[in-house]
Amino acid sequence: MKARVTVTLKSGVLDPQGKAIEGALKSLGVAGVASVRQGKVFDIELGEGDAAKAEAALKDAAEKLLANTVIENYRVEVTG
Protein backbone atom coordinates (compact mmCIF):
# COMPACT_ATOMS: atom_id res chain seq x y z
CA MET A 1 0.00 0.00 0.00
CA LYS A 2 1.27 3.46 -0.84
CA ALA A 3 0.56 6.78 0.79
CA ARG A 4 1.46 10.42 0.34
CA VAL A 5 1.61 13.00 3.11
CA THR A 6 1.66 16.59 1.83
CA VAL A 7 2.71 19.32 4.26
CA THR A 8 2.18 23.00 3.48
CA LEU A 9 2.48 26.23 5.42
CA LYS A 10 -0.75 27.66 6.77
CA SER A 11 -2.01 30.77 5.03
CA GLY A 12 -0.67 33.88 6.68
CA VAL A 13 2.62 32.24 7.66
CA LEU A 14 5.62 33.96 6.09
CA ASP A 15 7.28 31.77 3.41
CA PRO A 16 10.75 33.14 2.64
CA GLN A 17 11.73 30.06 0.63
CA GLY A 18 8.61 30.46 -1.52
CA LYS A 19 9.49 34.13 -2.08
CA ALA A 20 13.04 33.14 -3.13
CA ILE A 21 11.65 30.57 -5.58
CA GLU A 22 9.21 33.16 -6.92
CA GLY A 23 12.05 35.61 -7.53
CA ALA A 24 14.17 32.94 -9.21
CA LEU A 25 11.34 31.90 -11.51
CA LYS A 26 10.77 35.50 -12.53
CA SER A 27 14.49 36.02 -13.17
CA LEU A 28 14.47 32.91 -15.38
CA GLY A 29 11.73 34.51 -17.46
CA VAL A 30 8.85 32.28 -16.35
CA ALA A 31 5.82 34.41 -17.17
CA GLY A 32 2.73 34.78 -15.03
CA VAL A 33 4.15 33.81 -11.63
CA ALA A 34 2.04 35.65 -9.07
CA SER A 35 3.27 33.89 -5.92
CA VAL A 36 4.88 30.65 -4.74
CA ARG A 37 4.28 28.68 -1.54
CA GLN A 38 6.61 25.76 -0.90
CA GLY A 39 5.96 22.58 1.06
CA LYS A 40 7.04 18.99 1.61
CA VAL A 41 5.83 15.70 0.15
CA PHE A 42 6.46 12.33 1.79
CA ASP A 43 5.83 9.21 -0.36
CA ILE A 44 5.53 6.27 2.01
CA GLU A 45 5.16 2.54 1.32
CA LEU A 46 3.25 0.65 3.98
CA GLY A 47 2.92 -2.99 4.89
CA GLU A 48 -0.52 -2.32 6.39
CA GLY A 49 -3.37 -3.69 4.27
CA ASP A 50 -6.18 -1.75 5.95
CA ALA A 51 -6.46 1.73 4.43
CA ALA A 52 -8.27 3.19 7.45
CA LYS A 53 -5.61 1.95 9.87
CA ALA A 54 -2.84 3.18 7.57
CA GLU A 55 -4.43 6.62 7.32
CA ALA A 56 -4.84 6.84 11.09
CA ALA A 57 -1.20 5.83 11.65
CA LEU A 58 0.03 8.40 9.13
CA LYS A 59 -2.08 11.18 10.64
CA ASP A 60 -0.52 10.33 13.99
CA ALA A 61 2.96 10.40 12.41
CA ALA A 62 2.21 13.75 10.77
CA GLU A 63 1.06 15.23 14.08
CA LYS A 64 4.16 13.97 15.92
CA LEU A 65 6.95 14.19 13.32
CA LEU A 66 6.21 15.20 9.75
CA ALA A 67 4.44 18.53 10.30
CA ASN A 68 4.72 21.40 12.74
CA THR A 69 0.99 21.78 13.27
CA VAL A 70 1.39 25.28 14.72
CA ILE A 71 2.41 26.66 11.31
CA GLU A 72 1.74 23.80 8.87
CA ASN A 73 -1.23 21.88 7.50
CA TYR A 74 -0.99 18.31 6.26
CA ARG A 75 -3.02 16.02 4.02
CA VAL A 76 -2.82 12.19 3.99
CA GLU A 77 -3.72 10.20 0.86
CA VAL A 78 -3.66 6.39 0.95
CA THR A 79 -3.77 4.48 -2.35
CA GLY A 80 -3.47 0.92 -3.55
Q: Which CATH number goes with the domain that contains 58?
A: 3.30.1280.10
Is the pLDDT reported for residue 49 higher than 90? no
How many structural domains does the chain have?
1
Beta bridge partners of 6: 41, 75
Contacts of 37 (CB under 8 A, 6+ apart): 8, 9, 15, 18
Q: What is the mean pLDDT of residues 31-40?
A: 96
Task: Quickly state the pLDDT bin for 80 (edges 50, 70, 90).
Answer: confident
Query: Domain span at residue 67?
Result: 2-79
